[in-house]
Amino acid sequence: MRRRHLIVAGASLPLLCPLPGLAPWTRAMAGDAVPFDASTVPALARELAARPFRPPSRELPAALDAIDYDAFRDYRFRSDHALWRDGGRFQAQLFHRGFIFKERIDLHEVEGGRARPLPYRRDRFDFGPQPPPPDDPALGHAGFRLHAPVNREDYFDELCVFLGASYFRAVARGLAYGLSARGLALGSGDPGPEEFPVFRAFWLERPAPDADTAVVHALLDSASVAGAYRFAIRPAGGQTRMDVDARLYPRVALRNAGIAPLTSMFEFDHGDRAGVDDFRPAVHDSDGLALLTGSGEQVWRPLRNPPEISHSGFQDNDPRGFGLMQRKRDFADFQDAEARYERRPSAWVEPLDRWGPGAVHLVELPTGNEFADNIVAFWRPRAPLAAGREHRFRYRLHWCADHAWRPELARAVATRSGLGDAESERPRQYVVDFQGGRLDALGADAAPRVEASASAGELRNPVAYRLEANGRWRLSFELWPGDARVVELRARLLDAAGAPLSETWLSRWPS
């Protein structure tokens, strides 16, 4: 069992049973193959949204309802029963229900324009020493995963997983699972309980033998909204790309919708380890929020493990992208031979349409361990999503080790802070190291301009200089917060003509 699987399933709402009259879904559940095209799932979602939300059932046979974690670990899908083993670049394996995965997911395979159900079959699973459950085709599944040649051509690696609520995640060449994405976030970081929509059914298109892309359709549902999703999943080079087409049909006006949400973990880093007693220099799946604004500004906001919930909004219009990134890629950055955090993927959201005005939101929750996701990032439109109509968002998700937006700009590669050199008033010293782009071509005697500001208090002694030890450029300044309770910080390096040499670095005091 992977850590994130446990986390997301524990947070999810139970899945709905099939509703009468939802053709072709209901007919497919009876075993019939039914027509299927690009309009099928949107039509189902539109009809579902017109009905009152029906609380889902989590009923399971007693033997499955009572099993614990250790017993459930023995439930393994048999790879020799994987879908599409007869050829092509993709295979699919299914997850069993049980333990915390009580919710039923209805899976279908699409081939030749017709969808047929994938009923539960006990012989597809190995149960180890555990007694097998009843062989009931109506039992359904908990989710699925896709396999493909990722690291080498002669082996089918696990590529992506859809399991728990509307969570999914993927890997790319040389990477292991880390952060997750979601279909939709509702109320993340806001007062009151968060609502967790669920993917209650999937349709998996059988790939052609020479296909380089796998296509998956999903039906989303919750008390406030129904939705139809199409995922085109392609492992290519050093990244796995997902083109997502999301159509939302709210039952009520959605004022707190989070589009293209990403969920990650940040416990500490060398710049944020107050009170940490750990042999490792850093523990995180992601170390920063990256933004490429509608105006073309490249922004980096290091993540924090705050003492209390922190919710930030970065206003924008037609954003070009945002993501939770893992920039540290050396074993020495983490010194963890088991978790291998340097292999955790970054996830970059690239809108494929104009999203208009709104904000990228960053929610940071305090955590005392590495076992819970405490970071969420998403896009929230300025205007509420009106009930009774379709709202469409298309975007491309890049699962990768690195992603370049404006290669001419140096990137912030390290952020550190500590008590300033003063006897009173306790100023805070900040140092930010930049590397790459046009900045690397400057001589050591160059003098980049420092553009730095603070929303409150006073910022003193800004300076930039080259580090002989590694060739990086260091920006340093002191913050004197005075009576301010919160200070937003902003800094970057400019050339003599005022053009940016680095991306824009953002932070918040206190951290």
DSSP string covering 39-83, please? THHHHHHHHHHTSPP--------HHHHT--HHHHTT-EE-GGG-B
**What number is the average pLDDT over the span 313-319?**
98
How far does CA 274 lie from the centroid of its chain? 27
Q: Using 50, 70 and 90 to split pLDDT, how confident is the model at 31? A: low
Residues 277-307 have pLDDT tens digits of 999 999 999 999 999 999 999 999 999 999 9
**Contact assessment for residue 397 and residue 181, using Cβ atoms and an 8 Å cutoff:** yes
Are 383 and 418 in the same domain? Answer: no
Residues 440-452 have pLDDT tens digits of 999 878 889 999 9
4-to-1, 11, 164, 408, 488 alpha-carbon distances in Å:
9, 11, 10, 36, 32
> Which residue segment(s) compose the domain that 311 sits in?
3-400
pLDDT at position 58 over 70: yes
- Residue type present at position 130: Q
Are 355 and 463 in the same domain? Answer: no
Residue 33 CB coordination number (10 Å): 18
Write the secondary structure of 361-427 as one string of H (helix), E (strand) and C (coil).
EEEECCCCCCCCCCEEEEEEECCCECCCCCEEEEEEEEEECCCCCCCCCEEEEEEEEEECCCCCCCC
- Residue type present at position 458: E
Residue 490 CB coordination number (10 Å): 15
pLDDT at 361: 98
pLDDT at 425: 66
* CA-based nearest residue to 316, from 350, 292, 300, 290: 292
Query: Which of these three, 400, 425, 451, is where a domain ends?
Result: 400
- Worst-scoring range by mean pLDDT, 17-31, 120-134, 227-241? 17-31
pLDDT at 30: 53
DSSP 225: E
Query: Which of these three, 369, 400, 431, is where a domain ends?
Result: 400
Q: Using 50, 70 and 90 to split pLDDT, how confident is the model at 423? A: low
Q: Is the pTM of this model over 0.75?
A: yes
Residues 457-500 have pLDDT tens digits of 999 999 999 999 999 999 999 999 999 999 999 999 999 999 99
Are 222 and 278 in the same domain? Answer: yes
Token pair for 258: 């989070």
Separation between Cα atoms, residue 239 and residue 464, nearest integer Å: 35
**Contact assessment for residue 282 and residue 269, using Cβ atoms and an 8 Å cutoff:** yes
pLDDT at 443: 85
Are 394 and 278 in the same domain? Answer: yes
**What number is the average pLDDT over the span 175-180?**
98
Averaged confidence pLDDT in the chain: 91
- The answer, yes or no, to whether the previous bond of 24 is cis (omega within 30 of 0) is yes
Query: Which of these three, 366, 400, 434, is where a domain ends?
Result: 400
**Per the domain annotation, does 475 fall within a domain?**
yes
Helix or strand run (H / E) with residue 9: helix 3-11
* CA-based nearest residue to 399, from 184, 215, 244, 210: 244
Separation between Cα atoms, residue 393 and residue 248, nearest integer Å: 8
pLDDT at position 16 over 80: no
Token pair for 359: 């904000």
Are 343 and 485 in the same domain? Answer: no
Residues 339-395 have pLDDT tens digits of 999 999 999 999 999 999 999 999 999 999 999 999 999 999 999 999 999 999 999
pLDDT at position 1 over 50: no
Are 384 and 426 in the same domain? Answer: no
Separation between Cα atoms, residue 351 and residue 77, nearest integer Å: 35
CATH code: domain of residue 292: 2.70.98.10
Instruction: Give the SS3 label for residue 28.
Output: helix
**Contact assessment for residue 378 and residue 360, using Cβ atoms and an 8 Å cutoff:** yes
